[in-house]
Structure 1
Amino acid sequence: MSPSLETFLDEGLANLKEKGLYSTIDVVEGSNGAIIEVDGEEKINLASNNYLGFATNLELIEAANLATEEYGVGAGAVRTINGTLAIHRELEEKIAKFKGTEAAIAFQSGFNCNMGAISAVMNKDDAILSDELNHASIIDGCRLSRAKIIRVKHSDMKDLEEKAKEAVESGLYNKVMYITDGVFSMDGDIAKMPEIMEIAEKYNLMVYVDDAHGSGVLGGGAGTVKEFGLSDKVDFQMGTLSKAIGVVGGYVAGSQKLIDWLKSQSRPFLFSTSLTPGAAGAVIKAIDLMENDPSYVEKLWDNANYFKEELQRIGYNIGDSQTPITPVILGDEKLAQEFSKKLIENGIYVKPIVFPTVPLGTGRVRNMPTAAHTKEMLDQAVRVYEKVGKEMGII
């Protein structure tokens, strides 16, 4: 290792640890379900994005195995050569039907999806209005596009309209796009979709909704856009296949022309090997289950509402979450780190969320109650929260 690199790393790591921004990575010994094993000890898992419990669902496992047996463990090539298998076509048709759009494109990850889709449509002659709390993958996708990035205050419709008007009337840009998360991953609030669409139609904005945390949660599982009945108006419906869907990958759903363009211009699609057949088969099964059995989504919401009420009852600040995402907001980064450590020691697995994932001074732990949790598990978690919170003087 060169001396300059070693100095950079030593100083950088020490700085992160000093500020309480260094995160340790634990290894889960087994599957990522409602109960996990870490360092030989069982913990109630409130840290995963496995909203519907699909990551360990036996029907999805069977579907993945059957697809693997039929098609192999890998697709063998990028999609544009001969890596588009029949199961990829089936997957994209399934996503489009579920989302209420003409077509869909599947990517290898949600991050790849935002990197590839935004930069395939926007360029240096364009402008992107971006909510200030958008996910890191949106931020990086915007940067890659080289478009002018205009930050919009979080869910502030007055600010959005002012900046949309200014960008459009300036005459400086060929195209103007507004990008927002459908559900914001750290606070759990929902984008104001009806108001957004009114402004978009007034100023002829393209609208791009990242529904990573809305897919499988809102709109009967079909997401935030479907929740508000806007499937025929939003230009880009993006989401992941790795959170509520329980597998891996990402997608964009929209018009046939948009998907045709992305399949010819989106670099992660063009230069990365396709999703594995097993992943595609499992996602198809996940969508089948959501379409035919509403109890998965209903159980998720029942557990989430119960848990949030109990945390508030004992005195915690959970912010303004409108979804199962349940932050416990503490403020201080080091306090968040120590609080998480104590909860884990007491059998409740939650991780601290600190800068740069959230703004400085808003450190927290984030809970993700799922359909796989029992009321007994949630009650035990609340008891631990009460015990640790009182010991640390937080409540």
Structure 2
Amino acid sequence: MEWLKEELDRIKKASLYRSRSLREGILDFCSNDYLGLRDHPEVIEVSLRVLKDGGLGSGASQLVSGYTKYHKALEEKLAEFKGTECCVVFGSGYLANLGAISSLVREEDAIFSDELNHASIIDACRLSKASVFVFRHRDYHHLEELLQTHRRSFRRCLIVSDTVFSMDGDVANISTLKRMAKEYECMLYLDEAHATGTIGKSGKGGLEEFSESWEEFMILMGTLSKALGSYGAFVCGSKALCEYLVNKARSLIFSTSLPACLCAGAEKSLEVIEREPWRVKKLKTLSERMFENLRSFGFDISFHQTPIIPIMVYDEKKALSIRDALLERGVFIQAIRHPTVAIGKARLRLTASLRYSEEDLELLFSSIKSVAIAC
């Protein structure tokens, strides 16, 4: 199929070509392992024990025979952690958003979505066949204008937003979104993938950060694969919501369930976060330190008190050049380009992690400074 080669050539010429990079031999400064829990001794120990007891795979979907005491225990722990009635675990964040959103709204319904929401939310909105109204990023006056104009024309409505936006690191105003959802009788769906374990005094996410409490019209989605250091995702909410998703979310019904060892590891990570609240505070302090050190090197660096610190380059080709120059020094920060971000908004997505040693940070700072001088 010659058209495949032609399309790949077009992608390469636009500096948008992607390839996978092996992590061996380099220092990773762009992963989402914010709290350094993926190889925490207790997390590894419990994961190995469950792996040896129950085997590698779960063997079936949750509704066949793939639902174990480890899945149930994790769901109960997550519901407690998020302050909700109930929780359902999914195979990944993408599957959670796809399954939950597409089952909550239909053709006669509407979705009001932040323009910088994650790709999985965008695809879920399309799959739902609901009418989608996109409001300007964190522009809640625009959201209210859309609600005033369109809300009464639809049966059910869903307001959906990332809590911490994955490419910019900025934070949605949860109090404002909650108020609008109540006022206009909408469901509020918050993607807390990058908020869980990173914001709020004890890492519980957006509600804690804004001193808000969960209410029945709110749906909290999150992932196990970032600050919790495991893999998979979850949706927290009311008992009725969980029962509904188990019966209607196709990405849950027709997917093999998570391996039990991943559930056990994620539950242990939650225990560590609750037992050691200093981790969340230390992550914020580290993020601030990284920003303060790097902004003096001449790059345009955004910072919103989260561990996501985008180094704005804007030009796609230049972003690749800087990434490659850093790789030569053993430092890996991936260049993020279209379609993940808009054309002309290319960046290097640097993240803070408790995994970094002082030597790692010194190498990071010196490498970026050298590259900045060379540019």
Letter in 2 for 1:20: S
Secondary structure at 2:190's aligned position in 1? Answer: strand
After superposition, the CA RMSD in angstroms is 1.2
Name the residue aligned to 2:167.
186
Letter in 1 for 2:190: V
Deviations 1:97-134 (A, max 9, x none): 01100000000101000000001111111000010000
Residues in 1 aligned to 2:18 and 2:7: alpha-carbon distance in whole angstroms: 13
CA separation of 1:322/1:300 partners in 2, compared to 1, >3 Å: closer, same or farther?
closer
Aligned length: 373
Contact 1:115 1:141 in 2 (8 A): yes
Letter in 2 for 1:135: H
Residues in 2 aligned to 1:302 and 1:366: alpha-carbon distance in whole angstroms: 18
Secondary structure at 1:82's aligned position in 2? Answer: coil
List structure 1 segments (4+ residues) > 3 angstroms apart after TM superposition: none
For the pair 1:13 / 2:8, whether they are aligned, the reply is yes
Alignment of 1:111-122 (within 5 A): 111-122=94-105
Residues in 2 aligned to 1:222 and 1:66: alpha-carbon distance in whole angstroms: 27
Contact 1:290 1:296 in 2 (8 A): yes
Alignment of 1:86-165 (within 5 A): 86-165=69-148
Name the residue aligned to 1:32.
none
Deviation of 1:200 after TM superposition, in Å, equals: 1.5
Contact 1:297 1:371 in 2 (8 A): no
TM-score in terms of structure 2 length: 0.97
Deviation of 1:314 after TM superposition, in Å, equals: 2.3
Residues in 2 aligned to 1:64 and 1:370: alpha-carbon distance in whole angstroms: 22
Secondary structure at 2:301's aligned position in 1? Answer: coil
Name the residue aligned to 1:202.
183
Name the residue aligned to 1:230.
212
Residues in 2 aligned to 1:7 and 1:302: alpha-carbon distance in whole angstroms: 52
For the pair 1:25 / 2:20, whether they are aligned, the reply is yes
Name the residue aligned to 2:345.
362
Kindly, what percent of the aligned residue pairs are identical? 37
Secondary structure at 2:58's aligned position in 1? Answer: coil
Contact 2:110 2:133 in 1 (8 A): yes
| Residue 382 of structure 1, aligned match among 358, 365, 372 | 365
| Residue 316 of structure 1, aligned match among 299, 313, 321 | 299
Deviation of 1:279 after TM superposition, in Å, equals: 0.3
Name the residue aligned to 1:371.
354
Residues in 2 aligned to 1:275 and 1:291: alpha-carbon distance in whole angstroms: 23
For the pair 1:212 / 2:207, whether they are aligned, the reply is no
Deviation of 1:87 after TM superposition, in Å, equals: 1.1
Residues in 2 aligned to 1:7 and 1:221: alpha-carbon distance in whole angstroms: 50
Deviation of 1:239 after TM superposition, in Å, equals: 0.5
Deviation of 1:7 after TM superposition, in Å, equals: 2.0
Gaps of 5+ in 1: 1-5, 30-36, 38-42
Alignment of 1:78-93 (within 5 A): 78-93=61-76
TM-score in terms of structure 1 length: 0.92
Deviation of 1:320 after TM superposition, in Å, equals: 4.4
Alignment of 1:29-48 (within 5 A): 29=24, 37=25, 43-48=26-31
Secondary structure at 1:79's aligned position in 2? Answer: coil
Contact 2:303 2:310 in 1 (8 A): no
For the pair 1:221 / 2:221, whether they are aligned, the reply is no
Residues in 1 aligned to 2:8 and 2:197: alpha-carbon distance in whole angstroms: 37
Deviation of 1:390 after TM superposition, in Å, equals: 0.9
